[in-house]
Structure 1
């Protein structure tokens, strides 16, 4: 079954509330960001890619990292291709100037972002959160990411992702 991509600005009902707000407030949401409805049972990357015929290297995952230093916890979003693993304990930890960095607990990530687990995306996250995008993501002319909910996916170029989130581009993978 092929995906039916529509400009996201025309289907805000398919994305989480914080994502819809970010899209609505964007200077030029235009056609750079598309959305496609999917079966929520197939939201996990491997199942999604297999069912909808999307290559793993055309799919990027967003992980929420909790960075700790001096009793303070800060959060960041990290984007890597589905074929790669983020170096959270090395590159990400050092970049965030943290003593310890780890994946945020699922319940915390969901509560803080206002998004569903398995659909978290960097679009619509709190403005003070750093968004780190692996350089390999930026090389994709079209990459599929979460939409904040499990029943849809967003699609855009890697460059548009960086522009939409104000992300920093660095080499993040192991």
Structure 2
């Protein structure tokens, strides 16, 4: 699958939604246009940061067809047992790409709570607290930088240990 190249300064619908949502919540963000990356480590190298400083936003489906966002450091993986315990449910799963798009308005690889078409609850891994992080920005070829604590506060996120080392 070939990803579209950045728009060279033209308005981009997903990025514009992210900017508007950040402004509405009083969040200071920086959005950087960058070449398309084919992996998280490649994106980190392009941005000149460590993979741990990129936070993956995973949209997670509950059994009742509602969703949540899980914010996981790029050098770690989601821990399903830990997340289920924090959420208080027995079953969670990653939706297919079409359901993820329907739940958020964003394609995989661009998903971010800011500007999502639904305000799903946010669960942040404790390791992102106190850091400036990069994450998806609503469109391929863009990265969002934000203070993690400000993001957590703006979304009333639940912060807990919900990740594990990559296998």
Note if contact 1:14-1:151 (Cα within 8 Å) is conserved in structure 2.
no
TM-score by length of 1: 0.79
Q: SS of the residue aligned with 2:65? A: strand
Q: CA deviation at 1:104?
A: 1.7
Are 1:96 and 2:87 matched, yes or no?
Answer: yes
Aligned to 2:6: none
Determine the C-alpha separation between the residues in 2 that align with 1:75 and 1:82: 21
Are the structure 2 counterparts of residues 138 and 165 from structure 1 closer, same or farther at C-alpha, using a change threshold of 3 Å? Answer: same
Determine the C-alpha separation between the residues in 1 that align with 2:159 and 2:10: 27
Unaligned runs of 5+ residues in structure 2 are 1-8
Q: Of the candidates 30, 41, 46, which is equivalent to residue 46 of structure 1? A: 41
Q: CA deviation at 1:44?
A: 3.7
Q: SS of the residue aligned with 2:60? A: strand
Are the structure 2 counterparts of residues 137 and 35 from structure 1 closer, same or farther at C-alpha, using a change threshold of 3 Å? Answer: same
Are 1:56 and 2:47 matched, yes or no?
Answer: no
Q: CA deviation at 1:50?
A: 2.1
In the comparison of the two structures, how many residue pairs are matched? 154
Aligned to 1:13: 11
Determine the C-alpha separation between the residues in 2 that align with 1:13 and 1:65: 29
Determine the C-alpha separation between the residues in 1 that align with 2:136 and 2:149: 16
Unaligned runs of 5+ residues in structure 1 are 1-10
Note if contact 2:34-2:46 (Cα within 8 Å) is conserved in structure 1.
no
Determine the C-alpha separation between the residues in 2 that align with 1:112 and 1:171: 24
Are the structure 2 counterparts of residues 19 and 153 from structure 1 closer, same or farther at C-alpha, using a change threshold of 3 Å? Answer: same
Determine the C-alpha separation between the residues in 2 that align with 1:111 and 1:81: 24
Q: Of the candidates 75, 80, 99, which is equivalent to residue 108 of structure 1? A: 99
Q: CA deviation at 1:34?
A: 0.9
Are the structure 2 counterparts of residues 21 and 46 from structure 1 closer, same or farther at C-alpha, using a change threshold of 3 Å? Answer: same
Aligned to 2:149: 159
Q: Of the candidates 139, 158, 161, which is equivalent to residue 168 of structure 1? A: 158
Aligned to 1:25: 24
Aligned to 2:70: 78
Determine the C-alpha separation between the residues in 1 that align with 2:51 and 2:92: 26
